[in-house]
Structure 1
Amino acid sequence: MAEKQLSAVEAELYDRQIRLWGIESQEKLRAANVLLINIRALGSEIAKNILLSGINSLTILDDGTVTEEEQQKNFLLNKGSVGNPIADEVLIKAQALNPLVKIKVDKQPPSSKDSSYFKNFTIIVATCIKTDLLLKIDKVCRSSNVKLIYGDVFGTFGFSVADFLDHNYHEDQIKLAGKKRTHGEKDHEKTTIKVQGVINYPELKKVLILPNTKQSADSIKKSKRRNELFYIMLALMEFRNKNNRNPAIESKEGDLKTLETIKADIFQLYEVDELKTKLPADIFELVFGEEVVPVCSVVGGVIAQEVIKAVSEKEVPVNNIFLFDPITFDGKEEAIGA
């Protein structure tokens, strides 16, 4: 990725950010070309934050049309948008957030794209897609040195999972100068040092292992102290795979039964039957209602933050799963499949 030197206009616009993470990181962001797959309630929050960060370009890939419910949840939409392509309808407000970023829209289905399409980006952010497509994209990304993060919100539960390849990063740490103290001296001279590190992310097919697949879950089963929300995440992904939609209030009774069956299959696969007593009996009651806007704001902020870390290589990113607890509203980090 060739970094682009900031213009005087950009340096002035991004002055506060440059003070926060430095000119080198801002130049890396300035060179980044981002693909966002689906710009619904969660996607709009992600788009807002990465546009404001000062990337080079954002491509929005979404073949959907605006529904009345979506119009109420998505702050990038205007009144009168219902029935129109969502990618077109978000464009005006999205561009207004940062006129310096080039924004493109693509209204073709994400599943229709061939492998070459996904190779042209610095990082891909995916939402609202099925697992088979996600794993296909991840395979292309790994062969093309493109980073990937996927996230979703189901009711008040949200999550993200990242594959940032072999990710090099640095962080600034404060260090006390090693000098001999004199009598009565209290203060030590402080210096800032750059500490470098690397995180080796596993490919997603080793992280998102679902029932009835050929992939072995043995590496994940070795850790018995896994956050139980990880398995709820898998159950929701499998529900979408089977039904091509999220759990819906209008079919709640049947969907709850389906989710419980899927959960039982996942518990059996991972040999974690003891979680039956740890998880609240009504945990799936919290995943209905499509995307809850405040949760989208939190999870979207986290995902956008991870995009900024991945591109700028500044600060330690999540390795590799973030889980938003629908009961306590806390964020949990899990390292899966490493």
Structure 2
Amino acid sequence: MEHSITEDEVALYDRQIRLWGLEAQHRMRNATILIAGMRALSNEVCKNIILAGVGSITILEHETVTEEDLGSQFLVRQEDIGRNRAEAAAEKARNLNPRVKVIVDQEDITQKPDSYFTQFNIVCLTGCSPDQMIRVDNACRNTKTGFYAAGVNGFFGYMFCDLTHHEYREETQESVTEKGKEPQTIITHRSQDYDSLACTLQTCWGYPKPRALRRKVSPLLIAFQVLWLFQQAHGGRLPLSNSQEDMEAMYKLRDQRLKTAQVDSTFVEDDLIQTLVSTASAEIAPVCAIVGGFLAQDILKTLSGKDAPLLNYFLYNGIEGNNSFIFILTHEAWDDKNGKAVEFTVS
């Protein structure tokens, strides 16, 4: 059932409507979003999209609040320890914007059938295992449901987007040479095709020299993929920083991934792997705020249908303080002469 935007909502979301337009706000007003996994990162995402005035958010989480959560999650309090994370966070989230429906689902994501995820407009997984991310992404692709996966591991964060095929519009102002003539807005309709998460994990760049590859791809992308390979090989758990065995396993997986990608063995240095492992289980609030802010912004951009959303990866390096936007195309239309990935870095 679609809901029309009321006069009160027009006044409340006035700044957004002037930015995106009334039609875009209407789409957001009727959007249903799933946030799976309630962590510090998803606290940020929930806050931003609830304040933007989406239709409904379903929070899927089966674990309970622990004392460690209090250091990074602002939607839970001391008295919530022992309660379900989704239930505790939902109470604070509803107060942010009573017009948004916040639904709690306390079941384990591993018990959800593929059909569960296709009832939403956008599915966003945070802190899930790589096997779950791949499974849900494949399920969403079957019905062209928008899919996002994101996580924060210490000083580093990532975000992946798969919209299968997305159509959007770009607005530009025509140049005016005639004196006194007002510039007209030109609307151009565009589209983007996306590859699945599983497909991007098999990408081959074929760059023999690390310096040439660094102009295209951040080593952090490979490092995260190595971390996911470790989780797949060890039942979903993260490597332990004080385990030499785990560190050696990470080095071995790195070498295997670089060989598959046909990349020089020195592209991902030991120091990056060591730093990633040493803080892999930590949730650092400022990093969650940056990644969560960008993730929420991109979800809203997808719903609005205005301007191009992310294609495919966003990476954040909290040590160097920069962002990397990487798109990977592995379908047949790709031109191998230009490489297989392009990166834009913003300091």
> Could you tell me how far apart the structure 1 residues matched to 2:145 and 2:49 are?
17
> Could you tell me how far apart the structure 2 residues matched to 1:148 and 1:221 are?
28
**Aligned AA (1:265):** Q
> Could you tell me how far apart the structure 2 residues matched to 1:69 and 1:172 are?
45
> Could you tell me how far apart the structure 2 residues matched to 1:13 and 1:54 are?
9
**Structure 1 position 73, deviation (Å):** 0.9
Match of 1:282 in 2: 271
Match of 2:257 in 1: 266
1:45-87 deviation per Cα after TM superposition (whole angstroms, max 9, x unaligned): 1111111111100000011111111122100001122222111
Structure 1 residue 175 corresponds to structure 2 residue 174: yes
Stretch deviating more after TM superposition (45-54 or 238-247): 238-247
**Aligned AA (1:135):** I
Match of 2:315 in 1: 323
Residues 3 and 27 of structure 1 are in contact (CA less than 8 Å); yes or no, is this contact kept in structure 2? no
Structure 1 residue 148 corresponds to structure 2 residue 139: no
Match of 1:333 in 2: 325
Match of 2:199 in 1: 206
Structure 1 residue 157 corresponds to structure 2 residue 149: no
> Could you tell me how far apart the structure 1 residues matched to 2:318 and 2:325 are?
14
**Structure 1 position 37, deviation (Å):** 0.6
> Could you tell me how far apart the structure 1 residues matched to 2:106 and 2:75 are?
17
> Could you tell me how far apart the structure 2 residues matched to 1:290 and 1:202 are?
30
Q: Secondary structure at the match of 1:333?
A: strand
Residues 223 and 268 of structure 2 are in contact (CA less than 8 Å); yes or no, is this contact kept in structure 1? no
**Structure 1 position 255, deviation (Å):** 3.6
Closer/same/farther in 2, CA of residues 329 and 255 from structure 1, 3 Å limit? farther
**Structure 1 position 188, deviation (Å):** 6.9
Structure 1 residue 46 corresponds to structure 2 residue 35: no
Q: Which runs of 5+ in 1 are unaligned?
A: 182-186, 210-216
Residues 176 and 189 of structure 1 are in contact (CA less than 8 Å); yes or no, is this contact kept in structure 2? no
1:208-261 deviation per Cα after TM superposition (whole angstroms, max 9, x unaligned): 23xxxxxxx45x548954322210110121222233233445x35444333222
**Structure 1 position 26, deviation (Å):** 0.5
1:184-216 deviation per Cα after TM superposition (whole angstroms, max 9, x unaligned): xxx87433222221111112221123xxxxxxx
Out of 217, 223, 228, the position equivalent to 1:232 is 223
Residues 248 and 290 of structure 1 are in contact (CA less than 8 Å); yes or no, is this contact kept in structure 2? no
**Structure 1 position 327, deviation (Å):** 3.1
How many aligned positions are there? Answer: 320
Closer/same/farther in 2, CA of residues 312 and 206 from structure 1, 3 Å limit? same
1:124-155 deviation per Cα after TM superposition (whole angstroms, max 9, x unaligned): 00111122221221122111121101111111
**Structure 1 position 303, deviation (Å):** 0.7
Closer/same/farther in 2, CA of residues 56 and 326 from structure 1, 3 Å limit? same
Residues 67 and 82 of structure 1 are in contact (CA less than 8 Å); yes or no, is this contact kept in structure 2? yes
Out of 308, 312, 325, the position equivalent to 2:304 is 312
Identical columns (%): 31
Spell out the pairing of 1:94-109 with structure 2 (5 A cutoff).
94-109=93-108
**Aligned AA (1:54):** G
**Aligned AA (2:151):** D
The RMSD of aligned alpha carbons is 2.1
Residues 286 and 326 of structure 1 are in contact (CA less than 8 Å); yes or no, is this contact kept in structure 2? no
1:248-282 deviation per Cα after TM superposition (whole angstroms, max 9, x unaligned): 45x354443332222122112212124x1x54531
> Could you tell me how far apart the structure 2 residues matched to 1:296 and 1:198 are?
30
Residues 156 and 326 of structure 1 are in contact (CA less than 8 Å); yes or no, is this contact kept in structure 2? yes
- How does the TM-score come out when normalised to structure 2? 0.86
Stretch deviating more after TM superposition (138-147 or 117-126): 138-147
**Aligned AA (1:124):** V
Q: Secondary structure at the match of 1:70?
A: helix
Residues 226 and 250 of structure 2 are in contact (CA less than 8 Å); yes or no, is this contact kept in structure 1? yes
Structure 1 residue 59 corresponds to structure 2 residue 58: yes
Spell out the pairing of 1:30-41 with structure 2 (5 A cutoff).
30-41=29-40
- How does the TM-score come out when normalised to structure 1? 0.88
Q: Which runs of 5+ in 2 are unaligned?
A: 331-347
Residues 71 and 81 of structure 1 are in contact (CA less than 8 Å); yes or no, is this contact kept in structure 2? no
1:66-124 deviation per Cα after TM superposition (whole angstroms, max 9, x unaligned): 11111221000011222221111101111111110111111111010012211100010
Residues 4 and 28 of structure 1 are in contact (CA less than 8 Å); yes or no, is this contact kept in structure 2? no
1:156-196 deviation per Cα after TM superposition (whole angstroms, max 9, x unaligned): 111111101111111222221253x6xxxxx8743322222
Match of 2:333 in 1: none
**Aligned AA (1:300):** G
Structure 1 residue 193 corresponds to structure 2 residue 192: no
**Aligned AA (1:133):** Q
Match of 2:232 in 1: 241
